[in-house]
Amino acid sequence: MDLLQLRKPTRAVLHAHDQIASFFAAMDRRERSSRTSPTTPVSGGARRRIQTAIEEFPMASLDRPQVFDLSPIALHVYTHEQAKIDLIIPKSGTLSGRGAAQPSLREYLDELEGLDLDVEPKEVPEDLYRPSILDVFEVPTMACDALGHVQLARRRNKEITDLFRHTHLRRPCAMLKLLNHVLVAYPLLPRLNDLLAFAPHKANSFQLQFVAYQLEVLRKHFVRMGAHWVTPDYRDVYVTDRWWMECQLPMVGLRMVANSGSQPSPVFRGDDDAAPSSPFRAWAQGELSNYDYLLYLNRLAGRTWNDPHFHPIMPWTTDFTMHSHLDGWRDLTKTKFRMVKGDEQLDMTFQSDPPHHVTTFLTDLSYYTYKGRQSPKAVLVRHVRGKWAPNEYPTSLEQLYQWTTDECIPEFYASPDLVRSLHEDMGDMALPRWANSPEEFIVKHREVLESPHVSAHLHAWIDLMFGYRLTGVAAVDAKNVALPLSHPTSAFVSPFHGIRQLFRHPHPRKMVLARPGNDSASVRLMQASAAPDVTLEDYERVAAFDALYFAAPAPRLDPALPAPVHPSLPHLYAAVLASTQGQLAVWPSVPLCTEAYEIMLNHALPLCSVAELMDRTWLKMEQQAFVAFFAPRIVQAPTAVPVALICKFIGVSGFLSDVWPAYSRYCLENWEAGSIAPHLVDVCGFLGPAHVRDKVLPLLSLVIKQASLADVFVQIARRFAFECTECMLLPYLFKELVTTFQEATFHRVAEAYRAVFAYAATAMDEHETAKAVADVVLATKGRQRPMLFGVALKLVEDLCRTAEMRDLEQLILPLMEQVCDEAVRNPTRPLSRDDLLSMAFQVVRFIVGTDAMATKYTWAADAERRVQQWRTQAMEDGSGREYPGSPLTRASRSLTFMVQEIPTSRARSTTVPASSSASTLSARSTTSSIKSIRAWTTYFEHMKPRLPEIKNARLWSASAHPSMQCLAAFPDYQMVVTGGRDKTVKIWNLETAMTNQDARQIQVHPPYTAHQEPVTEMTALGHLVASCDGSIHVWDLETVQPLCQVRALWNLGLVQSWPAARLLVGRAANGTIFVDDIRTRANPIFFHMGAGFSGAITSTAVSTKHRIVAAGSAAGSVGLLDMHVGSLLACWRAHDSPVTKLLFVEDLLVSIAQGDPMLYVWNTATFVLERAIKVTGISEPVHLTAISSTRVLLIDGHGHMAHVHLTSEQVRVTPRAKDTVIKGGIVGVGYLHDGGAARIVIGAGDGALHCVY
């Protein structure tokens, strides 16, 4: 008798279920705190409910245990008889207390030790018993008596509990003993049967062998227990996600076999066992009912009773609309899903990707809707609807049939109580017109299933559910393409689909059609007659089908497992067994297969960190398998794995291909976790700038929509050289500002931009910072977006607190004057808003002074009036400014701020603004990465380079040395360094001279006096100076202290700098090129230019962009040397006379030669001549410098200048100033450009220093 046929037991289960979850939690606490107390009352509400449940439990038995899915646990309900373990053991004197007349349990088990699995013991004790599950597991167990008290379970016999303490025997979470039933809670795990039947693609052969190996271990344990005949059914075997097998007791599907090595005798008993030798033939001949045959097919397909996903299915046979039960037939040639959805919708589904028609034939929604009147409310709320709404369940069988898209279940043909409701607020299900009671409905509904009409068409339904119409052309024609079979690995396939194809040929129809008898109380097969149109071919089809699918050996009721023969299995089992006991096993010394390592690592993960496991297995696993296994684990806890280990074990390519997609999703979803940002910054250092640009920055574009990233961008900038901040981070953030219109996101981007800009300013001096801010103002002003322009004005406010007044007057003041003037003249423009006007007006007043404002500007009065009105209104309504800024006063410039040293550099004594956006940044310092932001025009595609006009008018002149021989300019510092025959190097600060034509105001720093010979060559190397007197001295420009010295056996000359790499490149006296790395202080490396390069080297040039060194010779040859690999790229005859100057301009090489009026432009990629430009109007050029990416400046020995445009070939000559007298020839030229004006410093041989503009 089914549980659902018993009204009161089911209601008792419903009442008890409401308190199961909290009750089991309380049991565990009470067992620990009150083991000695025999009776412990529970709370009043729980006590009353449990007492009600006990009172309503009559003495009754259940045909099969019931299972309720309460994820993450499953609640099993047994009668006391069903709760007994199917392992019969002897009653020993110790166990029974009757003395030792019978053999003891230990003696009996000792006798079994070493026996073969197929051999029975010599003597089996006569007095046997089956222990209950309540007696064999030491788990929280309580019992309810008739008075509603909860009693702790008595202490169990240790001899029995030790016997069942096995790693492959499943331990319950908790147990509750009622008067007639036992409730047992287990963790919810998949069954081995379901895995093999419905998801075989999820397990490879080795994993299944490992499960089979564990089953053999369990069988040997059963032999030692005295149950050598036990073979567990796969429905009682559960598999964890780590492929560890556990057998659940009591074994409901146990098959008792006399010889465990043979297949069970196929004796058919209803729905639980196999039919006779051919159940199909028995059905075809009318000896087996449709109901029993369908249950047998469900069993073969792997379906299991009381499983909401894999419960047996049967066809709906009538629509319940007619007056007679033998009318209103359902079309068995179509699935119920097709009948409800219609062909048109299924055709649309088949056009999807992947193409399919059906995904399952019975869902948990339909299952619990069918059983809604007999299932606990908590289960229905979990599976049907999140809120209890009884009026939304079908009220009649007719309505249920019209609603569902799934097939029927056997209970509608066997259990009258299925239509009765146990819920007070849900009525019984209305019956068809041809049934007056639930019992009559079951009888007549069963008659419909066994009727000749259904028997004649049942084979068509079998083809749809289990047969050949599940795949192939037949499935397409029947609109029954099953997605789990056609695309089993698709992400849309549910793990609970329950579809399994048994037959690949058409199922023969039934040969003998049953006619229902006259007994209305039961359904049985009465007189049988052959179908009227049966032919000889039909009998042949039956015989062929029977021979193909049901001939000996009989079809297995369990899917097959491979034989456990892999040599890695014993070593793997030993390691995993130790892990299940909480011990990290010693790694096997023998090599294992990849699948074995994966299983072993999955078991070891809870015991140690991912980093430790990576270190253990890196040399043992194949790299591809290693990355495939650890990549998802790194993503699960990315901050737990040091970036150094990722770099060591996986590498950049492996990280990007296998880890980065999931890692980026993890960062996006869990950014609020404080440990994500530092780890991502470390990852950026691991990936490098190019991958940061391609991978990390797009991720941060998404993250910044929900979080502030100012500190993150600053930390990324600190990871790389200044060039990465200049050419990658700042352009990226400016682009984000331009393309972002959502206000909150814009403010976060603006905060990050200001922070990175402030950090970039630490690598520039005040003048270069002012130039950069001015460029930003121009770029944002042209966009005509108030919020964007407000960011630039905030940079101006920050700059005003640190910059020199001269820079503010030259670079910032004209721009702010223009903003204020336009805002007053045209107040309707977007950038004329009062808040922007207030910021610009404050800057102008700060630079010019309050007293001079009214007299200098006509718009000052109107602007001040608008600013005052706006501030008053903002204070009254409390709105404030959109871009608030602290008032600018001259006193604010005296604030002191923290100075931090950037790695590999030394800080200067200067200050930075103490704004919130830059509070975490290092302060301004002059470091090894001191650079001018010379490529700001590349940041903003709309900006055009602003080149100053050089008039060649004298600004001032001064005497530097008795005889000058070299000169080097430091544009970042507005300084010039000169060297002469007096063996000294003098430092000239030109900042004052740029605004004051009085040469006497030039501040001269102490000279460098460590040279032993006249100084002949000099070059700038960031904040360092490299001066040559035969050997090269490298010293600090600010402290004038030497750092290192490069000595050689010959004189060195023509020194060029490579600031980005801290390299010195020049010509040695023997005609070779030397490269010296001042960071490592190693010996210089010398490169010979090769046999094709003739003549002594007369000129050198360095391209830091392409890592190329160019050298010109006295014979007119030009050679290019690749410094990355140290090889000669090309060598050709460029001139007929000695090469005097070489200069790299972007991708071009410019050369001039002695006595040649032509300027030659060469392509550094193809080594061909791009153009030759004739320069007239000046004598022989002696100096060549670049003033932009397309323009160069030539100067001859008399001081005449020529501006040459390299693309248009235009030449503009500027004669020397009349008041400038150059004697002794030009020995050096320095080009200084501060954004608004250009200054050219010329060193003459007579020791004079001239400055022209």
Say what the pLDDT of residue 1135 is. 87
**Does some domain include residue 962?**
yes
Q: Which of the two residues, 647 and 137, has the higher pLDDT score? A: 137
Alpha carbons 436 and 447: distance in angstroms, whole number = 16
Of 439, 472, 501, the position where a domain reaches its end is: 501
**Does some domain include residue 807?**
no
Alpha carbons 245 and 191: distance in angstroms, whole number = 9
The kind and range of the H/E element at 802 are none
Angle (CA) 35 41 44, round 5°: 150
Segment 224-237, tens digit of pLDDT: 776 666 677 788 89
Locate 1038 and state its tokens. Answer: 């600010």
Say what the pLDDT of residue 1069 is. 62
**Does some domain include residue 822?**
no
CATH code at position 445: 1.10.1540.10
The answer to whether residue 919 scores a pLDDT higher than 70 is: no
The answer to whether residue 144 scores a pLDDT higher than 90 is: no
Say what the pLDDT of residue 1070 is. 64
**Does some domain include residue 429?**
yes
User: What percent of the chain clears pLDDT 70, i.e. is strictly above it?
Assistant: 74
245 and 320 part of one domain: no
Alpha carbons 518 and 1098: distance in angstroms, whole number = 122
The answer to whether residue 293 scores a pLDDT higher than 90 is: yes
**Residue 928, φ and ψ in degrees, nearest 5:** -65, -20
Residues 6+ apart with CB under 8 A from 821: 857, 859
Alpha carbons 23 and 14: distance in angstroms, whole number = 14
Locate 420 and state its tokens. Answer: 């009765």
Handedness of CA 747, 752, 753, 755 (dihedral sign): positive
Handedness of CA 672, 675, 681, 684 (dihedral sign): negative
For residues 1235 and 1223, the answer to whether their CB atoms sit within 8 Å is no
Say what the pLDDT of residue 1002 is. 62
Segment 249-286, tens digit of pLDDT: 887 654 333 232 333 333 333 344 444 458 898 899 88
Of 501, 527, 553, the position where a domain reaches its end is: 501
For residues 1103 and 1056, the answer to whether their CB atoms sit within 8 Å is no
Residues 6+ apart with CB under 8 A from 193: 233, 234, 235, 237, 302, 304, 558, 559
In the sheet with 1127-1133, reading across from the earlier edge strand, the strands are 1097-1103, 1108-1113, 1117-1122, 1127-1133
Rounded to an integer, the average pLDDT of 1221-1230 is 82
Phi-psi region of 582 (alpha: psi -120 to 50; beta: other; left: phi over 0): left
1070 and 1043 part of one domain: yes
Handedness of CA 700, 701, 702, 707 (dihedral sign): positive
230 and 172 part of one domain: no
Locate 235 and state its tokens. Answer: 């429905």
Angle (CA) 1232 1235 1238, round 5°: 35
Alpha carbons 618 and 773: distance in angstroms, whole number = 51
Alpha carbons 475 and 540: distance in angstroms, whole number = 25
Residue type, 911: T
**Does some domain include residue 1112?**
yes
Alpha carbons 25 and 224: distance in angstroms, whole number = 35
Residues 6+ apart with CB under 8 A from 298: 271, 312, 313
Q: Please, what is the angle between helix 44-55 and helix 7-17, to 10°?
A: 170
Q: Which of the two residues, 1234 and 821, has the higher pLDDT score? A: 821
Most confident of 329-333, 590-594, 1044-1048: 329-333
Alpha carbons 979 and 966: distance in angstroms, whole number = 5
Segment 682-732, tens digit of pLDDT: 888 888 888 888 888 988 888 888 888 888 888 888 888 777 788 888 888
Q: In a 10 Å sphere around its CB, with 0-12 CB exposed, 13-18 middle and 19+ buried, how is residue 884 labelled?
A: exposed
163 and 196 part of one domain: no
Nearest to 730 by CA among 700, 747, 695, 755: 755
* Distance linking the first and last C-alpha atoms of the chain: 110
Most confident of 131-140, 942-951, 1210-1219: 131-140
323 and 336 part of one domain: yes
Strand partners, 1064: 1057, 1076
Q: Which of the two residues, 360 and 1039, has the higher pLDDT score? A: 360
166 and 253 part of one domain: no
In the sheet with 1003-1008, reading across from the earlier edge strand, the strands are 964-970, 975-980, 985-989, 1003-1008
Q: In a 10 Å sphere around its CB, with 0-12 CB exposed, 13-18 middle and 19+ buried, how is residue 658 labelled?
A: buried
1175 and 1027 part of one domain: yes
Q: Which domain holds residue 196?
A: 192-262
Q: In a 10 Å sphere around its CB, with 0-12 CB exposed, 13-18 middle and 19+ buried, how is residue 262 labelled?
A: exposed
**Does some domain include residue 250?**
yes
Q: Are strands 73-79 and 66-70 parallel, antiparallel or unpaired?
A: antiparallel
Segment 465-521, tens digit of pLDDT: 999 999 889 999 999 998 888 888 777 777 777 888 899 999 999 987 754 444 433
1069 and 1122 part of one domain: yes
Confidence class for position 86, pLDDT limits 50, 70, 90: low
Segment 922-964, tens digit of pLDDT: 333 322 222 333 333 333 333 333 444 566 666 678 888 888 9
Number of domains forming the structure of the chain: 4
Locate 28 and state its tokens. Answer: 């565990």
- Collapsed DSSP state (helix, strand, coil) of residue 237: strand
Confidence class for position 294, pLDDT limits 50, 70, 90: very high
Confidence class for position 210, pLDDT limits 50, 70, 90: very high
User: DSSP secondary structure string, 721-747?
Assistant: -HHHIIIIIHHHHHHHHHH---HHHHH
Q: How many CA atoms lie within 13 A of 851 on its CB side?
A: 0
Say what the pLDDT of residue 3 is. 27
User: DSSP secondary structure string, 17-79?
Assistant: HTTHHHHHHHHHHHHHH-SS-SB----HHHHHHHHHHHHT--S---SS-EEEEETTEEEEEEE
Strand partners, 1108: 1103, 1122
1171 and 1027 part of one domain: yes
The answer to whether residue 658 scores a pLDDT higher than 60 is: yes
Q: Are strands 1117-1122 and 1191-1196 parallel, antiparallel or unpaired?
A: unpaired
Angle (CA) 1212 1218 1220, round 5°: 100
421 and 437 part of one domain: yes
The kind and range of the H/E element at 206 are helix 205-225
Say what the pLDDT of residue 899 is. 24
CATH code at position 1057: 2.130.10.10
Alpha carbons 356 and 482: distance in angstroms, whole number = 6
Say what the pLDDT of residue 880 is. 45
Residue 678: Cβ within 10 Å count:
13
The mean-pLDDT minimum among 864-878, 962-976, 1147-1161 falls in: 864-878
Strand partners, 1035: 1025, 1042
Say what the pLDDT of residue 989 is. 77
Whole-prediction pTM:
0.53
User: DSSP secondary structure string, 1136-1182?
Assistant: SS-EEEEEEETTEEEEEETT--EEEEEETTT--EEEEEE--SSSSEE
Say what the pLDDT of residue 867 is. 84
Segment 1045-1098, tens digit of pLDDT: 776 545 556 667 665 556 777 777 666 887 776 655 556 777 777 777 888 888
For residues 734 and 779, the answer to whether their CB atoms sit within 8 Å is yes
Alpha carbons 583 and 979: distance in angstroms, whole number = 75
Rounded to an integer, the average pLDDT of 60-81 is 72
**Does some domain include residue 668?**
no
1016 and 960 part of one domain: yes
463 and 442 part of one domain: yes
Alpha carbons 567 and 716: distance in angstroms, whole number = 50
- What's the mean per-residue pLDDT of the chain? 74
CB under 8 A, 24+ apart: contacts of 431-436: 431/396, 431/397, 432/320, 432/321, 432/325, 432/397, 432/398, 433/322, 433/323, 434/322, 434/323, 434/324, 434/325, 435/325
Say what the pLDDT of residue 435 is. 92
Say what the pLDDT of residue 1066 is. 76
**Does some domain include residue 322?**
yes
Say what the pLDDT of residue 878 is. 53
Say what the pLDDT of residue 18 is. 42
Confidence class for position 410, pLDDT limits 50, 70, 90: very high
Alpha carbons 292 and 609: distance in angstroms, whole number = 54
Rounded to an integer, the average pLDDT of 973-995 is 80
Say what the pLDDT of residue 258 is. 28
Of 231, 262, 293, the position where a domain reaches its end is: 262
Please give the torsion angle defined by the CA atoms of residues 793, 796, 800 and 803, in that order, rounded to the nearest 10 degrees. 180
Segment 830-851, tens digit of pLDDT: 888 888 888 888 888 888 887 7
The answer to whether residue 184 scores a pLDDT higher than 90 is: no
